[in-house]
Amino acid sequence: MDLKEKLVILADSAKYDASCSSSGSKRKGDSIGNTAYSGICHSFASDGRCISLLKILLTNCCIYDCKYCLNRRSNNIKRAIFTPEEICTITINFYKRNYIEGLFLSSGIIKNPDYTMNLIIETVYLLRNKYHFGGYIHAKAIPGANKNLLNKLGNLVDRLSANVELPTEKGLKLLAPNKSSDKVTEIMSYVNNNRSTKFVPAGQSTQMIIGATDETDLDIMNKSENMYNRYKLKRVFYSAYIPVNKDKLLPSINTPPLIRENRLYQADWLLRYYNFKVDDILDKNNPNFNLLLDPKCDWALRHLDEFPKEINKCSYFDLLKIPGIGVTCAKRIISSRKYFSIDFKDLKKIGVVLKRAKYFITCNGKYFISNSNFKKDFIEYNLLLEDNNSNNSSGKQMSLF
Amino acid sequence: MIYLYKENFIDLLNLINYLLKNKVKPENIKNEIYMKTLLEETYYPVIAEDKNLSERIINKIGIESFLIVYYVFLSNADNKELLIYKYLLSSLKYKNKIRFMRNIDCVNECLKISKYVKTEAHKFKGFVRFSELDNGVLYSQIEPENNIMLLLCNHFKRRLKNECWVIKDNRRNLVGIYDKKECYILDSDIDIKKFDSEDYYEDMWKEFYKTIGIKERKNDRCRMNFMPKKYWKYIVEVSDNEKSSV
Ligand code: SF4
């Protein structure tokens, strides 16, 4: 099998992993390559997702049989395995041509977790020490592998991840009976306890599949919040379930739940950057996100008593609660209003999305139209109208990555 | 009166300093190759170069506010010189607070333009595509809106420090050349004709690109948002079919 064919097989089986980020590392570099702290996207695939790393599996052979996975043992597909040297050659040659920031290496489980992990380590070791590659490396840790191996790998890579795959143990039992969430959390806590500028400097991430099992958004967000708090994860990725296998245990859907996935990403941002808690945005009576409105608008509408907020007075954290105002804008407002008092046309210059924000704010005591319009029905109706004007009904992917 | 300067940043700063000192309000400021119309008058004042000028401006308005001026200079904005003049004029009053004064039009405009230049430079750190010539030199062509050559060279000389590479800006006939030691930026219209040798890894990359997109999630609008068509010309993995359609 020639190298190109292998690459196609092993990229095809790796593509369902949502992560491709190359951020968070300040590696000074070696004879070839360095990293950019903010990460760099090199291309965008036909699905609109950023391509930053050479995302491949070392092999798509696997001893496990996870129901949702293309590479499961019981599927009759073409199998391939890269040698460590082959991966290095492709990485270096792609990197030199500026196609990529580095490598994202994952793998099916071959023989056993330790054996697989050793192959990954060998590859990354070669890349760092024979090819003196100083670019970004994200590797998958194989659940169940020996701690020493985890330690070795962590010292070579920028980012490590272990996927929880499904938000609950029940889901795992059903669809991935060979896996257990304990093994994944063991990896997470090990990495968290040992993290340093040398060990996994860009931190760890994980991924959950959305819509393969019947969890609510509340279950999913609780799991995320818990992992962010306990293991200081950098990112949780949400991957809309795409049916690749037929199985009676799998839901029968034709299109992946992309809008739901987008809502989860938006809510995830609220947790990480906007000081929201899961309890604020979801509860037992409202366990799923509103598919028509983004989580922040939805929250604001349910908490209208906290609004309108006065742009020239309210705190940074209050600014962040206003739909249409993000972290950058909130900071700009704080630094600007020290020197002049802000009105609606200044907000536009600052970059606030006025078509959302205007319903929730006052500037120097003034509402954008008559105060009598500050009513839930009026605002909700207009927000929905805006949303449908600016989004086509198909893929609602926002610039989140 | 339209005032002229040699097309470099220091010369522009010197000219603006001269205008401010003599309290002259220019109708416009343009570089020396500007083609004036019949009704316009141009003037190219002889100014002794003031060596410490940039340093003094930085001391007064702070490096962040000064960098904004520099990025605006790199942009292709129409009246960038006049904008810079207005910005520096306002900075006499606001000093290091100038970059927060978004309610002043010229400041807001400068902030927007400088952000755009920085964003474009960042995008090109990803979008530059090198091909390997027979002699091992890495060669790439770009056509950015703004003059981001220096920013790109600074990036690639750290990243590809043991390679020889050339970046050619076809819009400006500028080349950035790196010889494993130093980096030079030159005016040049050299044209390395696309050598016919096939690049094995380029083919491989194209295959990878085709494979990595998930067809159930196809989203052209999103792709175009992040990677606008105006940048496609040298992005090898976008197929010729796609380039000619849409
Ligand atoms: S362990 Fe499960 S998810 Fe991973 S490759 Fe094997 S079958 Fe697929």
| Residues A339, A225 within the same domain | no
User: Are both A73 and A20 inside the same structural domain?
Assistant: yes
Q: Are residues A186 and A217 in the same domain?
A: yes
A284 within domain boundaries:
no
Residues A329 and A258 occupy one common structural domain: no
pLDDT in tens, B14-55: 999 999 999 999 999 999 888 888 888 899 998 888 889 999
Tell me, yes or no, whether A111 lies in a domain: yes
In A74-183, DSSP assigns E strands to 102-106, 136-140, 159-161
**DSSP conformation class of A142:** P
> By the 8 A CB rule, do B42 and B2 touch?
yes
User: How many other CB atoms sit within 10 Å of the CB of residue B79?
Assistant: 13
Within 8 A of A90 by CB-CB distance, chain B residues are 201, 204
The chain-wide mean pLDDT, for chain B, equals 92
Question: Looking at residue B193, what is its pLDDT?
Answer: 64
**A252 and A153: one domain?**
yes
- Structural domain count of chain A: 2
The residue ranking higher by pLDDT, B87 or B198, is: B87
**Residue A302's domain spans which residues?**
295-394
The pLDDT of residue A396 is 41
Q: List pocket residues of ligand 1, CB cut-off 6 Å.
A: A 62, 64-66, 69, 71-72, 108-109, 176
Q: What is the ipTM score, two decimals?
A: 0.93
Rounded Cα–Cα distance for residues B49 and A281 (Å): 61
Closest atom of ligand 1 to A165 CA is 3
Residue B89 has pLDDT above 80, yes or no: yes
Which of A9, A58, A65, A71 should be mutated for ligand 1, with most atoms under 8 A from CB?
A: A71
Distance CA A134, CA A126 (A): 12
H/E stretch holding A356 reads helix A354-357
The answer to whether the beta carbons of residues B214 and A258 sit under 8 Å apart is: no
Give the H or E element holding residue A217: helix A217-231
Helix H or strand E segment including A122:
helix A113-129
A390: Cβ–Cβ under 8 A, 6 or more apart, which residues?
Answer: none
Q: Is residue A285 part of a domain?
A: no
Q: Which residues of B fall within a CB distance of 8 Å from A17? A: none
- CA A71 to ligand 1: nearest atom: 8
In a domain, A51, yes or no: yes
pLDDT at B195 over 70: no
Count of alpha carbons within 13 angstroms of residue A279, beta-carbon side: 1
Q: How confident is the model at residue B245 (pLDDT cuts 50, 70, 90)?
A: confident
DSSP β-ladder status, B164-169 and B174-179: antiparallel
For residue A207, the CA-to-ligand 1 centroid distance in Å is 13
Looking at chain B, the whole-number percentage of residues with pLDDT higher than 90 is: 80
Q: What is the CATH number of the domain that holds A136?
A: 3.20.20.70
Give me the residues of A, 213-252, that contact B with CB < 8 A: 240, 242
Whole-number Å distance between alpha carbons of A223 and B191: 56
Residues A92 and A52 in one domain: yes
Chain A from 85 to 114: CB within 8 A of any B CB: 90, 93-94, 96-99
Task: Give me the helices (H) in chain B, please.
Answer: 9-21, 53-61, 63-74, 80-94, 105-127, 149-159, 200-212, 220-226, 240-244
Domain membership flag for residue A160: yes
Are A37 and A86 members of one domain? yes
pLDDT per residue rounded down to tens, chain A (401 residues): 899 999 999 999 999 988 889 999 998 888 899 999 999 999 999 999 999 999 999 999 999 999 999 999 999 999 999 999 999 999 999 999 999 999 999 999 999 999 999 999 999 999 999 999 999 999 999 999 999 999 999 999 999 999 999 998 889 999 998 888 889 999 999 999 999 999 999 999 999 999 999 999 999 999 999 999 999 999 999 999 998 888 888 888 888 999 999 999 999 999 999 999 999 999 999 999 999 999 999 999 999 999 999 999 999 999 999 999 999 999 999 999 999 999 999 999 999 999 999 999 999 999 998 888 899 889 999 998 876 655 443 334 443 33
Instruction: Note whether A271 and A300 are same-domain residues.
Output: no
For atom 4 of ligand 1, which residue has the closest CA?
A108
Q: Which residues pair with A103 in a beta bridge?
A: A54, A137
Task: Look at residues A276, A307, A335 and tell me which one is the last residue of a structural domain.
Answer: A276
Of A213, A244, A276, the last residue of a domain is A276
Q: CB distance B103–A346 less than 8 Å?
A: yes
Query: Closest by alpha carbon to A142, among A119, A176, A105, A114?
Result: A114
Establish if A7 touches chain B: CB-CB under 8 angstroms: yes
CA A114 to chain CA centroid, nearest Å = 27
How many whole angstroms from A69 Cα to the centroid of ligand 1?
6
Task: Tell me if A46 and B208 make a contact (CB, 8 A cut-off).
Answer: no
Whether residues A249 and A313 fall in one domain: no
Q: Do B223 and A45 touch (CB under 8 A)?
A: yes
Q: What is the pLDDT of residue A129?
A: 96
Check whether residue A308 and residue A266 sit in a common domain: no
pLDDT at A392: 43
Asked if B222's CB is within 8 angstroms of A8's CB, the reply is no
pLDDT surpasses 90 at B244? no
Cβ contacts of B226 within 8 Å, gap of 6 or more: A41, A44, A48, A50, A399
Q: What distance in Å separates residue A345's CA from the closest CA in chain B?
A: 9
Is residue A62 domain-shared with residue A95, that is, in the same domain? yes
Contacting residues of A for B205, CB less than 8 Å apart = 94, 97, 99
Atom number in ligand 1 closest to CA A60:
5
Nearest CB partner across the interface for A395, out of B162, B207, B222: B222
Same domain, A246 and A328: no
In B, minimum Cα distance to A346 occurs at B103
Picking from A225, A242, A276, the residue at the C-terminal end of a domain is A276
CB pairs under 8 A between A and B: 157
Best mutation site among A12, A59, A65, A69 for ligand 1 pocket (most ligand atoms within 8 Å of CB):
A69
- Give the Cα separation of A307 and A293 in Å (integer): 18
Structural domain includes residue A289: no
Q: What is the pLDDT of residue B194?
A: 59
Q: Residue B241: what pLDDT?
A: 87
Compute the distance from residue A62 Cα to the ligand 1 centre, in Å. Answer: 6
Instruction: Spell out the residues 6+ positions from residue A19 whose beta carbon is closer than 8 angstroms to its own.
Output: A104, A138, A161, A205, A207, A235, A237
What is the helix, strand, coil percentage profile of chain A, to 5? 40, 10, 45
Helix (H) or strand (E) holding B185: strand B183-187
Pairing label, strands B138-142, B164-169: parallel
**Cα–Cα distance, B187 to A54 (Å, whole number):** 35
Chain-chain contact of B100 with A346 (C-beta, under 8 angstroms): no
- On whether residue A68 sits in a domain, the answer given is yes
pLDDT of residue A224: 96
Residue A399 lies in a domain: no
Task: Answer whether B100 sits within 8 Å of A336, measured CB to CB.
Answer: yes
Q: What is the pTM of this model?
A: 0.92
Interchain proximity A7–B125, CB inside 8 Å: no
Among A66, A73, A74, A242, which residue has the most ligand 1 atoms within 8 Å of its CB, making it the best to mutate?
Answer: A66
Shortest CA gap A12–chain B (Å)? 6
SS3 A239: strand
Question: Nearest-CA distance from B229 to chain A in Å?
Answer: 12
Tell if the CB–CB gap between B103 and A40 is shorter than 8 Å: no
Rg, chain A, Cα only: 23
Which sign does the torsion angle of CA B132, B133, B134, B135 carry?
negative
DSSP A17-34: -------S------SB--
Buried b / exposed e over B166-200, threshold 16 CB at 10 Å, is bbbbeeeebbbbbeeeebebeeeeeeeeeeeeebe
**Cβ atoms of A88 and A126 closer than 8 Å:** yes
SS3 assignment for B123-155: HHHHHCCCEECCCCCEEEEECCCCCCHHHHHHH
